[in-house]
């Protein structure tokens, strides 16, 4: 093997260049971004070699004797036989793991509330740091902590940590720590005492390199300041990185608890960093405890948590909110993406499928009730508008919420989607007046393993804050041993050990930190089908 790395490295590099470039790693001026790992004690020699070739690291990782570098093909040839280089690999991309769907349910599913743990249940959380590696944090949000938050900007050039162009990080933060202040939503740790570390790796483009993720992990550890540390990573990518794997393994050995999203493509393909042995991989389930159709399933999945239609914070004023009321009753209404902001009142009118202007004489200025199907949402809204309708209410043709888009089509009236059952109910009230409003707001429903991940990271932090004498491995073991088993008995590839449970883990640890063995990382499991698989 040593002989291969010394004599065959250049050939191997040249063979891999084409494949890696196809993985989306193209850099500036025809160069490709790679992650270089130095041999032990050879980091300085490697950087001098790069300097002689006129190459400056895009991101230096001296603590890991590694660097991210843009290289041309001729640079790869020059690395042939260099004793300072241990390995070279693509600096693979990492993406947020969220989906724009909306179905609501609460913190109680993971037992992270006073009903399960008693009053002041997270009062000791100030002894712990919960670090978010994500797209930033809206520090002006009405429902998020301010005084206990620290941030680090630009570990990979993403910008200021307190600006969240992608909205993803602020949503994750709300699930973790939204305040118990009578407005908005409630987080897993709602007292405002938990230490939050914000490390921004995503800008508005929505991706980052694995080297940036390694640097972000280092930044979290810099903010740790002697506290127990839980790191939330609602992100991932399909390619692994040995440098990244080693960095996370080192952090886990040093006592850091690492949690990441399992992935959203609904396949058995592994995602990273979630599938490294040092990281807890989190799958997503819905309000009925069924596995989400998008959630990845494989032997690395360790725990499951709510990830379908999670309501949480987004940057102030960035969300669309829908309201539909009739006769004192409120109906859940999800704004069509692209809807105008307006509030309209009028009688309910049955417009069928909405495939033609539907308001007859005397019905103008009504609110159109339209069934889903046949034509696009935008065409339905335009037909309502053409008939003189003031607003369009489109009801689903299957169970569940209706979260639709106008696809960039310009309309002039507010439009929302509602559940099938609510639409059928409103059809019995034709001619009666209703109020429809689409407005800006500060909260939104998101879907994804990104949304499941902070439930697990938050529960881990909550339980650890109540048992600070325990190690990260003991907390991890307790979460696995106390999870609510779903799907096939025991661990499976869909739910892992099951739905994370704060009270059950807390009760288990009352008997002592070492009552359960370590889970052994992200390997193992039966790999069988979960009972909730769609």
| Domain spans in the chain, listed from the N-terminal domain onward | 2-91, 106-314+447-509, 321-441
Residue pair 407/376 in contact by the 8 Å Cβ criterion: yes
* Alpha carbon distance 220, 256 (integer Å): 10
- Write the burial class of residue 262 (CB in 10 Å: 0-12 exposed, 13-18 middle, 19+ buried): buried
For the entire predicted model, the pTM comes to 0.77
How confident is the model at residue 529, as a pLDDT?
Answer: 29
Q: Strands 257-261 and 301-306, how do they pair?
A: unpaired
How confident is the model at residue 14, as a pLDDT?
Answer: 33
Q: Strands 32-38 and 85-90, how do they pair?
A: antiparallel
Strands (DSSP E) found in 32-90: 32-38, 59-61, 66-71, 85-90
Residues (pLDDT < 50) of the chain are 1-26, 99-104, 361, 517-518, 520-534
Kindly state the DSSP code that residue 354 receives in the 8-state scheme.
-
Residue pair 532/487 in contact by the 8 Å Cβ criterion: yes
Residue pair 331/422 in contact by the 8 Å Cβ criterion: yes
* Alpha carbon distance 274, 33 (integer Å): 22
How confident is the model at residue 98, as a pLDDT?
Answer: 52
How confident is the model at residue 17, as a pLDDT?
Answer: 38
Preceding omega of 516 cis (within 30 degrees of 0):
no
Backbone angles phi, psi at 273, to 5 degrees: -85, 0
How confident is the model at residue 531, as a pLDDT?
Answer: 29
How confident is the model at residue 93, as a pLDDT?
Answer: 83
Residue pair 112/106 in contact by the 8 Å Cβ criterion: no
Instruction: Report, at the CATH architecture level, how domain 321-441 is classified.
Output: 3-Layer(bba) Sandwich (3.50)
How confident is the model at residue 182, as a pLDDT?
Answer: 80
* Alpha carbon distance 53, 495 (integer Å): 49
Structure tokens at 271: 């995602």
Cα 434 vs. chain centroid, distance in angstroms? 36
CATH fold of the domain at 2-91: Alpha-Beta Plaits (3.30.70)
Instruction: Report, at the CATH architecture level, how domain 106-314+447-509 is classified.
Output: 3-Layer(aba) Sandwich (3.40)
Contacts of 507 (CB under 8 A, 6+ apart): 482
How confident is the model at residue 304, as a pLDDT?
Answer: 98
CATH topology agreement for domains 106-314+447-509 and 321-441 = no
pLDDT in tens, 117-134: 888 888 889 999 999 999
């Amino acid at each position: 093997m040593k002989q291969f790395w010394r004599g065959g490295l250049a050939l191997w590099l040249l063979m891999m260049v084409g494949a890696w470039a196809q993985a989306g790693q193209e850099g500036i001026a025809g160069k490709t971004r790679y992650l270089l790992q130095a041999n032990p004690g050879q980091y300085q020699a490697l950087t001098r070699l790069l300097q002689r070739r006129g190459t400056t690291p895009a991101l230096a990782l001296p603590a890991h004797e590694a660097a991210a570098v843009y290289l041309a093909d001729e640079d790869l040839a020059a690395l042939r036989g260099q004793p300072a280089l241990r390995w070279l690999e693509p600096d693979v991309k990492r993406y947020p793991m969220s989906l724009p769907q909306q179905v609501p349910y609460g913190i109680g599913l993971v037992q992270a509330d006073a009903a399960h743990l008693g009053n002041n249940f997270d009062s000791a959380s100030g002894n712990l740091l919960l670090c978010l590696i994500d797209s930033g944090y809206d520090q002006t949000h009405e429902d998020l902590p301010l005084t206990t938050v620290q941030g680090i900007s630009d570990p990979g050039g993403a910008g200021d940590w307190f600006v969240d162009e992608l909205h993803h990080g602020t949503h994750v933060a709300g699930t973790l720590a939204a305040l118990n202040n009578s407005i908005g939503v409630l987080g897993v740790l709602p007292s405002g005492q938990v230490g939050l570390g914000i490390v921004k790796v995503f800008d508005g483009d929505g991706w980052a390199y694995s080297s940036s993720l390694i640097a972000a992990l280092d930044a979290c550890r810099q903010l740790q300041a002697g506290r127990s540390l839980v790191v939330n990573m609602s992100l991932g990518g399909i390619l692994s990185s040995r440098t990244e794997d080693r960095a996370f393994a080192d952090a886990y050995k040093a006592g850091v608890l690492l949690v990441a999203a399992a992935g959203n493509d609904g396949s058995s393909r592994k995602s990273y960093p979630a599938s490294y042995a040092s990281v807890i991989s989190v799958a997503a389930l819905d309000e009925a405890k069924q596995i989400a159709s998008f959630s990845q399933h494989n032997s690395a999945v360790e725990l499951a948590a709510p990830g379908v239609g999670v309501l949480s914070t987004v940057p102030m004023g960035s969300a669309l909110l829908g309201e539909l009321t009739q006769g004192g009753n409120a109906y859940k209404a999800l704004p069509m993406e692209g809807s105008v902001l307006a509030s309209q009142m009028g009688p309910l009118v049955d417009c069928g499928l909405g495939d033609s202007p539907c308001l007859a004489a005397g019905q103008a200025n009504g609110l159109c009730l339209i069934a889903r199907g046949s034509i696009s949402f935008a065409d339905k809204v335009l037909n309502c508008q053409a008939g003189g309708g003031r607003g369009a209410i489109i009801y689903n043709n299957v169970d569940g919420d209706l979260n639709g888009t106008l696809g960039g089509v310009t309309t002039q009236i507010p439009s929302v989607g509602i559940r099938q059952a609510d639409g059928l109910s409103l059809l019995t009230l034709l001619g009666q007046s209703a109020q429809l409003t689409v407005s800006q707001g500060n909260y939104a429903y998101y879907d994804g393993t990104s949304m499941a991940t902070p439930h697990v990271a938050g529960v881990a932090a909550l339980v650890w804050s109540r048992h600070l004498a325990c190690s990260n491995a003991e907390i991890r073991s307790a979460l696995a041993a106390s999870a609510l088993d779903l799907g096939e008995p025991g661990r499976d590839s869909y739910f892992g050990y099951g739905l994370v449970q704060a009270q059950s883990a807390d009760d288990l640890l009352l008997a002592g930190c070492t009552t359960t063995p370590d889970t052994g990382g992200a390997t193992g499991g039966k790999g069988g089908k979960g009972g909730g698989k769609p």
